[in-house]
């Protein structure tokens, strides 16, 4: 297949952008159960995700019939007692569709584990974090494999690593940092199993799903499968893995660059796509059905970005109904696709597919020029998201103007450093390093996601493991002494805050408050989660890269 000389906007919007039909009859029904739970308990007294993760004990038609027969009050409400009785009789608990699986390659202390960590206290903690892979390892239960129609969990053949707590299924972009941690833990077979499962989803649906649930089949997440394959190959030299992965990666590339909806702008090809989910509470503010449908698309597109939710996607922050993700060309999506192009070119060359290699190398060079042209802001020394002035669906030519850049500061403005095409440019790296240092994002315990305290979890004061990692890795790979020094400093701050929080709570956390050492993050639509896959992976990766000297204190001052 031919590579695409394009910029990729928005997470995303499809040509068939009418209302999205729920993916299965079971999901349709569980949405009704979920709504009843909300009416019965209120949002603060239950996690609504639990109700779409339930599995049926009996066939769907009998369960629906029993649900319809639950006694209701005059105003249509169900009593807590009757609702709890119905759930207990007709469903197995959320999470029972996965069972524990002992990782085949887990060793309590692998040979060659974190050789640069000389401090005994830090090493002991790192081994505890390493041990969490056992706690997060699962496999799909036989009941799902035998009767998939009774479950929203999708059948996967290989063992999985879950992020933790309410996130009791595989997630796409989380898996990259899980893989990085597994490689630091010398768990190469488990890392390959993750890739095998994601390829299976890609083969089945045409793209890697947001997560391995039936209700996630209408969207993807940041495309990092090729990066996982590259990191595993880099550690193992497994050429067979490259041969296995190349065809599905070409399919995924086609998904992200397909002509589902095409808007030509200058010499760039834009490819928006529209998934959808529903949030009636906010959608009720719109009187027009078309506006409601568009808002639903914005919600799902934001979820597809991985940044759900953030002022980054709002035209008028902090007004949540001003989400406009589908009208943004995001810096990071284009960086991820550039990474995919470079990876595919490399894989193709290794396995002897020279025509594909040349095609994708050319595409990567074109995308690099487009990123320089559209996103780079010389005055700020950052790459900025670009607002589409005519909207994602407009057929009018788009003009690339500096005033269409979002000049608010987000950690994503520095993600291009992760790519060698950018971090190998020493003068550029030095300029971006100085910009990062003066941006206001650098805090006591890491890099903040934004400068806006909106109450949303992908904003200040939260810091997230993936963002710390991409920026630190990019800085550390440069030739700039100043950049490498900053990379080490950020990594040490992040390691420290993870350590202190772990010692206080006994847990690794999904996100952290970068204003205060040892404080986990907040915000969002659910309570803070522990576990936690990508946090574990980044800590282990940082310790493998930077180590910890014997006499260096780990506690925060």
Residue 237 three-state SS: coil
Establish whether 276 is a catalytic residue: no
> What is the spatial distance between Cα 127 and Cα 109, in angstroms, rounded to a whole number?
7
Tokens of 158: 């290989």
DSSP code at position 273: -
Residue 427 three-state SS: helix
Element (H, E) at 263: strand 263-265
Q: What angle do CA 554, 556, 557 make, to 5 degrees?
A: 120
DSSP letter string over 302-316? HHHHS--S-GGGBSS
CA distances from 169 to 56, 196, 355, 538 (A): 17, 15, 38, 20
> What is the spatial distance between Cα 12 and Cα 327, in angstroms, rounded to a whole number?
9
Name the active-site residue from 252, 385, 510, 544: 510
SS3 sequence, 35-89? HHHHHHHCHHHCCCHHHHCCEECCCHHHHHHHHHCCCCCCCCCCCHHHHHHHHHH
Residue 172, beta-bridge partner list: none
Residue 509 three-state SS: strand
DSSP code at position 167: B
Tokens of 151: 């479950």
Which of 205, 199, 200 is closest to 228 using CA atoms?
Answer: 199
Identify how many contiguous H helices and E strands the chain contains and give both numbers. 19, 15
Q: Which alpha helices (DSSP H) does 170-218 contain, by range?
A: 174-184, 188-205
Residue 513, beta-bridge partner list: 462
> What is the spatial distance between Cα 346 and Cα 538, in angstroms, rounded to a whole number?
25
- Residue 18 CB neighbour total at 10 angstroms: 10
Contact 377, 402 (CB under 8 A): yes
> What is the spatial distance between Cα 81 and Cα 163, in angstroms, rounded to a whole number?
32
Which of 423, 522, 537 is closest to 471 using CA atoms?
Answer: 423
Torsion of CA 532, 214, 326, 470, to 10 degrees: 30
> What is the spatial distance between Cα 347 and Cα 250, in angstroms, rounded to a whole number?
11
Q: What angle do CA 287, 292, 296 make, to 5 degrees?
A: 160
Establish whether 341 is a catalytic residue: no
Active site residues: 308, 510
């Amino acid at each position: 297949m031919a590579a695409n000389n394009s910029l990729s906007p928005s997470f995303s919007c499809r040509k068939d952008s009418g209302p999205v039909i729920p993916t299965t009859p079971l999901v349709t029904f569980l949405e009704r159960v979920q709504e009843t739970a909300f009416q019965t308990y209120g949002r603060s007294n239950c996690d609504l995700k639990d109700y779409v993760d339930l599995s049926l004990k009996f066939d769907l038609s009998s369960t629906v019939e029993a649900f319809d027969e639950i006694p209701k009050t005059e105003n249509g409400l169900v009593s807590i007692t009757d609702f709890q009785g119905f759930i207990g009789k007709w469903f197995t608990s959320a999470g029972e569709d996965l069972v524990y699986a002992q990782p085949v390659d887990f060793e309590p202390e692998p040979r060659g584990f974190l050789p640069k960590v000389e401090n005994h206290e830090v090493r002991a903690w790192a081994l505890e974090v390493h041990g969490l892979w056992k706690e997060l390892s699962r496999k799909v239960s036989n009941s799902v494999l035998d009767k998939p129609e009774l479950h929203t969990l999708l059948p996967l053949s290989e063992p999985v690593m879950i992020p933790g707590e309410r996130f009791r299924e595989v997630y796409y972009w989380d898996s990259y940092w899980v893989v990085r941690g597994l490689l630091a833990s010398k768990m190469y077979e488990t890392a390959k199993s993750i890739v095998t499962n994601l390829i299976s989803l890609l083969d089945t649906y045409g793209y890697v799903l947001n997560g391995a649930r039936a209700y996630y089949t209408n969207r993807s997440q940041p495309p990092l499968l090729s990066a996982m394959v590259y990191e595993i190959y880099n550690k193992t030299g497994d050429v067979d893995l490259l041969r296995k992965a190349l065809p599905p990666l070409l399919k995924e590339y086609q998904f992200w660059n397909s002509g589902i909806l095409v808007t030509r702008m200058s010499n760039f090809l834009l490819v928006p796509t529209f998934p959808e989910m529903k949030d009636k509470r906010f959608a009720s503010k719109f009187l027009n059905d078309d506006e409601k449908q568009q808002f639903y698309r914005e919600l799902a597109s934001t979820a597809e970005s991985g940044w759900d939710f953030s002022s980054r996607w709002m035209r008028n922050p902090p007004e949540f109904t001003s989400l406009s993700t589908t009208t943004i060309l995001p810096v990071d999506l284009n960086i991820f696709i550039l990474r995919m192009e470079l990876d595919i070119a490399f894989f193709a060359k290794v396995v002897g597919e020279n025509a594909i290699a040349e095609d994708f190398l050319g595409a990567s060079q074109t995308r690099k020029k487009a990123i320089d042209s559209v996103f780079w802001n010389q005055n700020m020394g950052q790459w900025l998201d670009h607002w589409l002035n005519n909207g994602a669906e407009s057929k009018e030519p788009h003009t690339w103007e500096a005033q269409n850049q979002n000049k608010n500061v987000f950690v994503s403005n520095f993600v291009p450093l992760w790519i060698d095409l950018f971090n190998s440019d020493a003068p550029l790296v030095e300029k971006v390093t100085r910009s990062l240092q003066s941006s206001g994002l650098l805090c006591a315990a890491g890099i903040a996601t934004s400068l806006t305290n909106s109450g949303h979890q992908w904003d200040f004061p939260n810091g997230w493991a993936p963002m710390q990692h991409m920026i630190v890795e990019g800085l550390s790979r440069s030739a700039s002494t100043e950049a490498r020094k900053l990379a080490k400093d950020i990594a040490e701050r992040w390691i420290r805050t993870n350590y202190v929080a772990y010692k206080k709570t006994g847990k690794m956390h999904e996100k952290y408050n970068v204003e205060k050492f040892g404080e986990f993050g907040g915000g969002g639509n659910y309570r803070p989660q522990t576990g936690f896959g990508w946090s574990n992976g980044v800590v282990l990766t940082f310790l493998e890269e930077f180590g910890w000297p014997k006499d260096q204190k780990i506690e925060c001052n």
